Amino acid sequence: MRMAATSLPIVKKNQPHLYEDLVDFFDDPDAEQQEWQHAQSVQKGHGRLEVRAIWTSTQMNDWFETEWAGVAQVFRLRRCVKEGDKEREEIVYGLTNLRRRESERLAPARFPTSPLADRKSLAPTARCHR
């Protein structure tokens, strides 16, 4: 599949191989994380604290090139929202044809989230808002 101009597809669990490849890659403690790029944004207002963090890498480009022609980066986007005593976390994975130079101008707050993303309810003292 050829990626369309400025493509940023979110990978869902109905794409099990692609989804698991990305989860395994970003969860691998032996991964070469020094190559990864990271950005974070914080928004606060109306009794709500939202933190979005994104990690991107070019290390999986060759792996995905046969199925996703034009892939330039893979990403993991984590969104943590705290409202009062309730806290939730959403993690989505995806790939994009945006090169690093092009994607650096995008703030994590502008990256998409998905209603089908992995959502986890967390205790207020959990890892989301450290």
Q: What confidence tier does 120 reach under pLDDT thresholds 50, 70, 90? A: very low
Q: Which residues sit opposite 73 in a β-bridge? A: 96
Domain ranges of the chain: 10-129
- Parallel, antiparallel or unpaired: strands 86-96 and 118-122: antiparallel
Residue 4 has what pLDDT?
52
Q: What percent of the chain has pLDDT over 70?
A: 71
- pLDDT score of 67: 81
pLDDT over 90 (residue 27) = yes
Q: How many CA atoms lie within 13 A of 4 on its CB side?
A: 3
For residues 53 and 68, the answer to whether their CB atoms sit within 8 Å is no
Average pLDDT value over all residues in the chain? 77
Q: What's the predicted TM-score (pTM) here?
A: 0.72
- What's the average model confidence in pLDDT over 20-40? 91
CA distance 74 to 41: 19
Residue bearing the bigger pLDDT, 24 or 10: 24
